[in-house]
């Protein structure tokens, strides 16, 4: 008898909690994108997150000091984030708008799941 393959359940998260967690795990991003574009991580790339104002959140991919890609998110256009495992070592997080279609507007493929206990905001100033 063959065993039926089950679809992993979707887990939802508030956007602000996910955003704080994502900034702490930028080195765990495998790729990120929209329905029309995708950016893949690579060893010589760096992910940068910023907030210009309450309606403009930035996700940038840099090589050195050069911006290679940039995504602009408006948090008011994201109702929630849904996450699920894609494979044993890949977890997909889709940013869902407050529309009846609920089609993702952005996504992040990560190396591990969302950990609730790690949602504190990153420091306002990083030092090396």
Q: Tell me how far apart the alpha carbons of residues 20 and 33 are, in angstroms, rounded to a whole number.
A: 18
Q: Tell me how far apart the alpha carbons of residues 55 and 45 are, in angstroms, rounded to a whole number.
A: 26
pTM of the model: 0.83
Q: Tell me how far apart the alpha carbons of residues 97 and 79 are, in angstroms, rounded to a whole number.
A: 5
Q: What are phi and psi of 118, to 5 degrees?
A: -110, 30
Task: Work out the percent of the chain whose per-residue pLDDT is above 90.
Answer: 77
**What ranges do the domains of the chain cover?**
11-113
Model confidence band, residue 10 (pLDDT cutoffs 50, 70, 90): confident
pLDDT tens sequence across 52-84: 999 999 999 999 999 999 999 999 999 999 999
Q: Tell me how far apart the alpha carbons of residues 35 and 125 are, in angstroms, rounded to a whole number.
A: 33
């Amino acid at each position: 008898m063959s065993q039926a393959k089950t679809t992993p359940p979707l887990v939802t998260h508030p956007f602000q909690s996910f955003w704080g967690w994502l900034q702490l795990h930028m080195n765990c991003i495998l790729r990120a994108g929209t329905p029309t574009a995708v950016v893949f991580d690579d060893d010589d790339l760096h992910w940068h997150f910023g907030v210009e104002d309450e309606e403009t959140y930035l996700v940038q991919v840099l090589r050195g000091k050069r911006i290679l890609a940039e995504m602009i998110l408006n948090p008011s256009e994201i109702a929630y984030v849904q996450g699920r495992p894609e494979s044993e070592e890949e977890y997909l997080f889709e940013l869902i708008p407050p529309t009846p279609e609920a089609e993702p507007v952005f996504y992040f493929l990560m190396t591990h799941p969302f950990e609730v206990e790690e949602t504190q905001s990153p420091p306002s100033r990083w030092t090396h």
